[in-house]
Amino acid sequence: MGKPTGFIDYNRVDSQNRKPLERIRDWDEFHLNLTDEALMIQAARCMDCGVPFCHSGVMMNGMVSGCPCNNLMPEFNELVYRGLWRDALGRLLLTNSFPEFTGRVCPAPCEGACTAGLATEPVCIKELEYSIIEKAFSEGWITPNPPVKRTGKKVAVVGSGPSGLACANVLNQAGHTVVVFEREDRFGGLLMYGIPNMKLNKKIVQRRIELMIAEGVNFIANTEVGRDYSVDRLKQEFDGVVLCGGATKPRDLNIEGRKLEGIHLAMDFLSSNTKSLLNSDLKDGRYISAAGKDVLIIGGGDTGTDCVATSLRHGCTSIVQLEIMPKPPRQRSKDNPWPQFPKVYKDDYGQVEAKALYREDPRHYGITAKRFIGDAKGHLKGVETMEVEWIKTETGSFLPREVSGSEKFWPAQLVLLAMGFLGPEDHLLETLSIQRDSRSNAKSEFGDHSTNITGVFVAGDMRRGQSLVVWAIMEGQLAARECGKYLENL
């Protein structure tokens, strides 16, 4: 432990973000850094607990508690406190292939499980993780490190999202020849086209891709395995295959008026915006624009928040975000004790920006959409909703019940459906004859990651369903390990 009384002596200090009304004028990252000296003080707040929970990565009450990558927080925190930044980098990279991604987009379940949070504020672990890896890049400590020798084995990784990149990285470091297939025109999957630029600058993704290329990983874009590249060819040319295609089948809302012009899936909105931004700084017009429109977003998660922030940067007239679930409490409820992930009300970056611009929270809870209303030409005019209350059933579960007389009309010329994903797309799994579980995901046990087809493994959202980037990285690393064991026995 660097300083036994650190969590008593020092208060938590979070880094500041750029001012909301300033940052909504551009697409640059909004995060600002603490100084090295301030970070060393924050690292001193880590207690090095006798039984730390921050690194546990276990499921509690349906959500993860602690870091799924099992990062060694007490160790790298102490090293930062002592000014041993390069040693801290070594500890961090032992468990997490890409801390530059998780340091930006992870919801930090590690902090929800931090023991210091029982007495005061948790340690700002995410900030420290981000700062370690960015210092490493700025100091030139991160350089290409190709394997000394190759094994002669060849592996195909299908999908270049966080699980695919993590898997490819580990397999390549083990000396296998790795080819990553991506159906989009750029690599990174969700990291590239699913997360907006102001949250994760695409230069950061490309920086990692270029590093992996320099280390010997082969990337092939604009190629969908199962269509552009046959499954038979895949089996013939590779000794092993790891499927990392994600859970990209969106949940739709098939209510009256769904076919009206102006209703879009959130991922179509976000991905087209990022692609146009990268290709032409939005000058080509090949994106769904919120400019001058009343925007209504259905869904209250991270994707919904990203839609809020993107719409504000387009110059929308108004913004509303609807969530069918009740509003969370501001503090942990009795049925959500530490070290469970804290299910509490908080302002994410998009809501902070909306409040700064419109002076009110865009979120409205306990509301469900009943029908979309359009004009005579088939253009969206608005959404009719009803309030819901959640009723506990005899089995202990909760079901929504509509509140009579609570109908309301919301003007909207653009509706974005951000209600999550149902699972992986069918074509590739069906073509490979991969067995599915009850949730339509590829059937495979966590930690083993093999499928019913010999030599074919699966990782990330394609196996576990819609989840966190940090889970995808962890699963990619584990699948690479298991695929490596299989290759050793060939």
- Residue 456's nearest CA partner among 428, 425, 419 is 428
Question: What CATH class has 6-139?
Answer: mainly alpha
Cβ atoms 66, 110 nearer than 8 A: yes
Query: Residue 299's Cα: distance from chain center in Å?
Result: 16
What local confidence, expressed as pLDDT, does residue 394 receive?
A: 87
Topology, domain 154-248+422-488:
FAD/NAD(P)-binding domain (3.50.50)
148: its two tokens? 């000394």
Length reported for the chain: 490
376: its two tokens? 């005579």
Cβ atoms 221, 179 nearer than 8 A: no
Cβ atoms 310, 273 nearer than 8 A: yes
171: its two tokens? 């397999």
What local confidence, expressed as pLDDT, does residue 435 receive?
A: 98
172 residue type, one letter: N
Please say whether the structural domain 252-419 has been given the CATH code 3.30.300.30. no
Q: Per-residue confidence of the chain (490 residues) as pLDDT tens digits?
A: 678 889 999 999 999 999 999 999 999 999 999 999 999 999 999 987 888 999 999 999 889 999 999 999 999 999 999 999 999 999 999 999 999 999 999 999 999 999 999 889 999 999 999 999 999 999 999 999 999 999 999 999 999 999 999 999 999 999 999 999 999 999 999 999 999 999 999 999 999 999 999 999 999 999 999 999 999 999 999 999 999 999 999 999 999 999 999 999 999 999 999 999 999 999 999 999 999 999 999 998 999 999 999 999 999 999 999 999 999 999 999 999 999 999 999 999 999 999 999 999 999 999 999 999 999 999 999 999 999 999 988 888 889 999 999 999 999 999 999 999 999 999 999 999 999 999 999 999 999 999 999 999 999 999 999 999 999 999 999 999 999 999 999 9
Q: Compute the CA torsion angle 338, 339, 344, 350 (nearest 10 deg).
A: 150
261 residue type, one letter: E
SS3 267: helix
Q: Compute the CA torsion angle 448, 453, 454, 456 (nearest 10 deg).
A: -60
Cβ atoms 246, 161 nearer than 8 A: yes
Query: What backbone torsions phi and psi does residue 105 show, to the nearest 5 degrees?
Result: -115, -5
Same CATH topology for 6-139 and 252-419: the answer is no
What local confidence, expressed as pLDDT, does residue 276 receive?
A: 98
Domain ranges of the chain: 6-139, 154-248+422-488, 252-419
Beta bridge partners of 452: none
What local confidence, expressed as pLDDT, does residue 1 receive?
A: 65
Q: What is the pTM of this model?
A: 0.96
What local confidence, expressed as pLDDT, does residue 397 receive?
A: 87
DSSP state of 436: B
Q: In angstroms, how far is the first alpha carbon of the chain from the final one?
A: 46
Helix (H) or strand (E) holding 76: helix 73-81
384: its two tokens? 């009719």
Q: How many CB atoms lie within 10 A of CB 374?
A: 17
Exposed e or buried b for every residue in 27-64, given b needs 16+ CB within 10 A? bebbbeebeeebbbbbbbbbbbeeebbbbbbeebeeeb
Helix (H) or strand (E) holding 180: strand 177-181
Place of tokens 């590690």: 110
